[in-house]
Structure 1
Amino acid sequence: MVIYKLLLKAAVLGALLGLYHKHLAQADDSIAKPGCKSSCGNISILYPFGLSDSDPHCRINSSSFRVDCDYSAKPPVAYVQNKSSNIKILHISVEDHELRINATIGRDCYNSSGNDDSSSNIPSLRLAEFPFSSTKNKFTVIGCDTSAFFRDSNGKFSFGCMSSCSNVSDVYDESCTGIGCCETSIPRNTFNYRISITSFSNHSDVLSFNPCSYAFVAEIGSYNFLVGDLKQLEFNPIPIVLDWAIGEQTCEEAKKNSTSYMCTKNTTCTDTKNGHGYKCICLEGYRGNPYLGCHGVATGIGGIVLLLLCWWLPKYTKRRREAKLKQKFFQRNGGIVLQQRLFFIENNHMEKGKLFALTELDTATDHFNKNRILGQGGQGTVFKGMLPDGTIVAVKKSKVIDIGQVEQFVNEIVILSQINHRNVVKLFGFCLESEVPLLIYEFVPNGTLYQYLHDPKKEFPISWEMRLRIASEVAGALSYLHSAAAVPVYHRDIKSSNILLDEKYLAKVSDFGASKSVTIDQTHLTTMVRGTFGYLDPEYYQTSQFTDKSDVYSFGVVLVELLTGEKPISQLRAEEDRNLASYFIISMEENRLFDVLDKEVLDHGKNEEIIVVSNLAKRCLGLHGRYRPTMKEVAMELEQLQSLRNPTVVRQNEEEIDCIRTESCVSSTIPMLKQSEAGIELTSMEEDQSLLSPR
């Protein structure tokens, strides 16, 4: 009924507005003289401008107002004066007396020796009558070893700016202050220019991330600098704003000749700021083309009300449509199920599960800008964002979601909402009103353990002391999940790429999409087999029964990675040794342990410490789960080893101790998720590396 009434009002409003606009039709249509062409493709040609193939009376008698239309292009393209000028017209404004044309971008590229190559381009532009707007244009220079100059073609003046940087990490998006990008204003009364670009040192030093330098004049706001432009600038149409006026006379001088004076009835004449030419403007309360005639605009209450209704109705309809769409997404993304699951958690832990609005996250990630992407994986894309209070976060945007993924999404929120441990990545909140669900985590800046162990580009070596500490921290987190959390949790995807390192290189366990919470009396889960090759518990693979000892096995593989620096699965090893776990165990059994250890471990680790950790890893990798230690036992052994190295180190989280002492973290048991039918779902080792930190 509401929609019907709105439609009825809209119909009446449409009829009234039709009568209202009929009165203004003459003003709206008076963009060109009668019988003259008024457009070239998508560009409106407003008098005093006119097309070259029309009658001479269609434009004023000045070559600068002549427009050449290339009809062979699709769509047709308008040029200033003639096609050979190569100056494309983007927009003509009579009200503001502005002409927008396409900007020419200067480019100076370099070869491996740091010298100019043949792809360089040095632009120039010459117009006789129309000056560049000094208030709406900027001269912009992009590069890390660049000096560019703007020179008046007549040799009256020149100016420029320098842009430098030694590393991409020193440069920031939308920051044009001389580091990677610089800009400066355009002087008044500038009618032509030539741009020159030079390298003020050896450009080969920055060639890898800045092969070319760029310089151009463009309208303010039409270009926003991005760090990626140093590598390659996308040559999208960028406009330059020109000011135009009539002739060279002032208003007082032009009025003396009524035959050539251009201002019509209901207009006023103003002189240009540079003293060259005059402009005609419609009087207040009138509209139209001041060079053809201005017409009065109705200002009655009825007209205002009609315009307000016309403005309000589509906005109201749009808000209702958006609200319904958000509600649809909320339900499809598991919002109702999530509310029910969180209800069972004591105090709901909502301080760690804020429900974010999509608009807030859209602003935080600069509209999910591709330059904010931290990483991509099988489950989605993660963007770096900044909340209004300045908090840096990682926003995980799921891929197109199905029912099974909704369950994983809800599961990850529920589990992380119950966890309070310094070595587990924190969940700040989630958003359910977008097309795909979003998770908001703390931002962990120093990448993954996998990268530091296996990425040859990482120059920072992980010392033996750091390896022991990281192993102890991860073991402590898993021990907490298994035996100290409000509800026991099996992670089910422990691997070095799911272990993040913060600004102090402290370990953070992440990615709980595959995790399962269990009741206290449960000993195992019968579930679809999933995990990552090289880390997967062979007993779980054969029986489909996941236990706490399955996480122990995966952690054992991580221990071996820390000891050897080898990948869990490697094609570089012999076929029988490609699996790191079996390769390591065989090496120990054949007394070849010290032949397979990483150089950093051999050089700085004490033999007795190495042997203790190696034996612990071997026990974790036992084929039969019942013979493996628990994560609590593993954590205690590693903590004891740490304390022997440094007795003053306190390894336990004070918040966790207080939580357990006061029993404030105890909550009701969350109902088990519906188990999938037995099956196998495995991923490659590198397919789903953690996405919450930069690569």
Structure 2
Amino acid sequence: MAKFVSYIAHDCYAPNGTSVSSNSSWISQPDHYTVNNTANKFTIIGCDTYGYVSGTRLNRNYSTWCIATGLGYCQMPIPKDTWFVQVDLYSFGNYTNVSDFNKCGHGFVAEETVFSFSPENFTNLRDVKEFPMVVDWGIENKSCLEAQNNRSSYACKSSNSECSDPSNGSDYRCFCKKGYKGNPYLPHGCQDIDECKDPSLNNCERHCENKEGSYKCSCPKGFALGIIALIFVACWTYFEQRRRKLIKMKQTFFLQNGGLLLQKKLKKCDRSLLEMVKIFTSSELKKATNNFHESMIIGKGGYGTVYKGVLQDNKIVAIKKSKEIDPSQIEQFINELIILLQVRHRNIVRLFGCCLETQVPLLVYEFMGNGTLYENIHTEDKLRFLSWEKRLKIAAETAGVLSYLHSAASTPTIHRDIKSANILLDALFTAKVSDFGASRLVPMDQAQLSTMVQGTLGYLDPEYMQTNQLTEKSDVYSFGVVLVELLTGRKALSYDKPEKEINLANFFLYTLRKDRLFEIIEGNIVSDETREQIIEVSKLAKKCLNVRGDDRPTMKEVAMELDALRLGGRNSWAKDEDDQEEIESRFGEGLDSVSFSDDYSDSITVQDDGYVGIYELITLKNFNF
């Protein structure tokens, strides 16, 4: 902006109404200059005066008028983009009806801030000839965008300048950026403003540090170092106390969950076992499960929650987190854990290790990608992949595992909770039995499905429930229910069905008695090729479901029967000598090499490939009810 001189127009009369003196005021701006429309005002002063301000804007003529009525004062703005201004004054009655003290009218275009109206203006303006007027100016009749396209003629030369398209006029202008002052039209014209030297330019309370184009408020160096040191000490103290508290809590949980007992017993074991077993830290498993995030949950039940985890070596595992554990069962849990870590079998889910420094022990298993047999049987999307051949293979493999456990030379082992949900399937639909030890970790106040007579309703041996006498034949009954699930695709208990169909085992035996077997067999597994095998497996299931345990076959006999069916035979354990030797080689060989000791310190070997999962061991000679 710039300031030009603007002359005052006046119109004076004698008492008789004769004009004494009169003049108009005009100003014409040179190229690239316009009258500022916000800083200037058109003003008329006089008791009998009106005036016109006229001129040229945007190459067109304009005119506006103002009447000094009332107080004898009138003021109005100037239009935008005006470069020529003329002020003309007139009188309504040549001041004949006006007091003698004021016989003149005055008009002007001037900077608003230099003039403030008062009654004295009627007389004292006689001696004033001019006022300043604010004008805007620009470089060239172009916008900033157009001007910047030609760098050679672009006027904003300073690197700290910026271009502005004006609101009044059509020529672009240059300004120094915020924090700079000077001439933006010179290469080094805009210089940094030191705001720290002028308190009005900064709001710092203590120390001001000047920066290029700005400033920074900071504390004195000594003060700042003291604050930083104080914050550092406070943070270190907080995190150190938290770390110690966490360590103490982990140590408490480790002792509470039998960690010392486990370490003591592991020292007595074979070196190869020590290399095979891992005691995980809680931080390892938190990292593996993204801090036990909900998205990592792959299973829930009365026992707790199972998470999918990815260990540091990218091995995928399943991590079981129980709801609670009975403190009185800790020693037995550790003893069984030692035994189970030594047993390996290709059809038992392998236990990699455990974590004892959490509120409840965490068990780490191998991950089974195809889920449980229960899910595959009772989920429509998965059911179509479960052919009869796969079902027969799953049944044979599960029976083989139970045969091993029951035939251990030193101490028979009973699973106690055989059901389709405890049979897992890998990517090739190989069956692997799991959750042998789940009953030891089940909350003690749960009494619906997993009862004090440990097992699951629908699979529980009725003789065991009545007598509390647990034998290996209890597993045989439960396995029989699993066979019926594989045959029918129905659940062990279905409360949404008619009363006689609620219990699958009872309804299956009823249909056999009525000779209506194929009414409940799942339709997509029945064909001319499978019909005979289905009948044989149904007969075997019926034998397993005998009410009296003594009338049921052993798991070894069941396994041999199923394997014979897979090899093409039909009869059970009454095979010719050649077939019998082949079956014995698959199920009987190596059984005498399985051994257990009372203090759980002797090693256990099984002549088979694969791994073992956590399960509950029950010795018939020590089992008390």
- Aligned mates of 1:510, 1:631 — CA distance in 2: 17
Question: Partner residue of 1:552?
Answer: 476
Q: 1:571 to 1:307 in 2, by over 3 A?
A: closer
Indicate which of 192, 210, 227 corresponds to 1:269.
210
Question: Partner residue of 2:349?
Answer: 425
Q: Provide, for residues 569-592 of structure 1, a one-character-per-residue CA deviation record: whole Å limited to 9, x for no partner.
A: 123443233221122122222222
Q: Report the secondary structure of 1:441's partner residue.
A: strand
Question: Partner residue of 1:254?
Answer: 193
Q: 1:569 to 1:259 in 2, by over 3 A?
A: closer
Q: 1:645 to 1:296 in 2, by over 3 A?
A: farther
Question: Partner residue of 2:287?
Answer: 363
Q: Report the secondary structure of 1:508's partner residue.
A: strand
Question: Partner residue of 1:354?
Answer: 278
Question: Partner residue of 1:668?
Answer: 597
- Aligned mates of 1:418, 1:614 — CA distance in 2: 36
Q: Report the secondary structure of 1:475's partner residue.
A: helix
How far apart are 1:604 and its partner, in Å?
Answer: 6.2
Q: Provide, for residues 8-53 of structure 1, a one-character-per-residue CA deviation record: whole Å limited to 9, x for no partner.
A: xxxxxxxxxxxxxxxxxxxxxxxxxxxxxxxxxxxxxxxxxxxxxx
- Aligned mates of 1:670, 1:568 — CA distance in 2: 38
Q: Provide, for residues 582-634 of structure 1, a one-character-per-residue CA deviation record: whole Å limited to 9, x for no partner.
A: 22122222222222211023236523211211111111111111121111111
How far apart are 1:510 and its partner, in Å?
Answer: 0.9
Matched ranges for 1:536-615 at <5 A: 536-603=460-527, 605-615=529-539
Counterpart code for 2:179: Q
Matched ranges for 1:220-231 at <5 A: none
Normalising by structure 1, we get a TM-score of 0.51
- Aligned mates of 1:676, 1:279 — CA distance in 2: 84
How far apart are 1:415 and its partner, in Å?
Answer: 4.7
Indicate which of 387, 395, 399 corresponds to 2:319.
395
Q: Report the secondary structure of 2:421's partner residue.
A: helix
Indicate which of 510, 513, 531 corresponds to 2:437.
513
Q: 1:673 to 1:498 in 2, by over 3 A?
A: closer
How far apart are 1:319 and its partner, in Å?
Answer: 4.0
Question: Partner residue of 2:360?
Answer: 436
- Aligned mates of 1:660, 1:374 — CA distance in 2: 35
How far apart are 1:474 and its partner, in Å?
Answer: 0.6
Counterpart code for 1:491: H
Asked if the contact 2:560–2:587 (Cα under 8 Å) also holds between the matched residues in 1, the reply is no
Question: Partner residue of 2:389?
Answer: 465
- Aligned mates of 1:325, 1:467 — CA distance in 2: 47
Which residues of structure 2 form unaligned runs of 5+? 1-144, 146-176, 182-190, 441-450, 571-577, 601-616
Q: Report the secondary structure of 2:508's partner residue.
A: helix
- Aligned mates of 1:328, 1:425 — CA distance in 2: 30
Question: Partner residue of 2:613?
Answer: none
Cα RMSD over matched residues? 4.1
Which residues of structure 1 form unaligned runs of 5+? 1-155, 157-246, 272-277, 282-288, 517-526, 679-695
State whether structure 2 residue 432 is matched by structure 1 residue 503: no
Q: Provide, for residues 457-515 of structure 1, a one-character-per-residue CA deviation record: whole Å limited to 9, x for no partner.
A: 53534111011000011111111222248853211000001111111111111111257
Q: Report the secondary structure of 1:452's partner residue.
A: helix
Structure with larger Rg: 2
State whether structure 2 residue 256 is matched by structure 1 residue 332: yes
Q: 1:639 to 1:343 in 2, by over 3 A?
A: farther
- Aligned mates of 1:461, 1:391 — CA distance in 2: 27
Question: Partner residue of 2:222?
Answer: 296
Q: Provide, for residues 266-289 of structure 1, a one-character-per-residue CA deviation record: whole Å limited to 9, x for no partner.
A: 654334xxxxxx4434xxxxxxx4
Matched ranges for 1:189-200 at <5 A: none
How far apart are 1:655 and its partner, in Å?
Answer: 12
Q: Report the secondary structure of 2:506's partner residue.
A: helix
Counterpart code for 1:253: D
Q: Report the secondary structure of 1:639's partner residue.
A: helix
Question: Partner residue of 1:229?
Answer: none
How far apart are 1:335 and its partner, in Å?
Answer: 2.5
Asked if the contact 2:559–2:587 (Cα under 8 Å) also holds between the matched residues in 1, the reply is no
Asked if the contact 1:372–1:383 (Cα under 8 Å) also holds between the matched residues in 2, the reply is yes
Q: Report the secondary structure of 2:342's partner residue.
A: coil
Q: Provide, for residues 51-70 of structure 1, a one-character-per-residue CA deviation record: whole Å limited to 9, x for no partner.
A: xxxxxxxxxxxxxxxxxxxx
Q: 1:343 to 1:475 in 2, by over 3 A?
A: farther
How far apart are 1:400 and its partner, in Å?
Answer: 3.2
- Aligned mates of 1:333, 1:656 — CA distance in 2: 37
Q: 1:261 to 1:528 in 2, by over 3 A?
A: closer
- Aligned mates of 1:452, 1:334 — CA distance in 2: 37
Q: 1:346 to 1:612 in 2, by over 3 A?
A: farther
Asked if the contact 1:346–1:667 (Cα under 8 Å) also holds between the matched residues in 2, the reply is no
State whether structure 2 residue 559 is matched by structure 1 residue 635: yes
State whether structure 2 residue 453 is matched by structure 1 residue 529: yes
Question: Partner residue of 1:280?
Answer: 215
Asked if the contact 1:493–1:532 (Cα under 8 Å) also holds between the matched residues in 2, the reply is yes
Q: 1:305 to 1:637 in 2, by over 3 A?
A: same
- Aligned mates of 1:597, 1:312 — CA distance in 2: 68
Q: Report the secondary structure of 2:568's partner residue.
A: helix
Q: Report the secondary structure of 1:530's partner residue.
A: coil
How far apart are 1:324 and its partner, in Å?
Answer: 2.5
- Aligned mates of 1:250, 1:541 — CA distance in 2: 93
Asked if the contact 2:408–2:595 (Cα under 8 Å) also holds between the matched residues in 1, the reply is no
- Aligned mates of 1:604, 1:260 — CA distance in 2: 100
How far apart are 1:342 and its partner, in Å?
Answer: 5.1
- Aligned mates of 1:262, 1:298 — CA distance in 2: 20
Q: Report the secondary structure of 1:490's partner residue.
A: coil
- Aligned mates of 2:353, 2:521 — CA distance in 1: 41
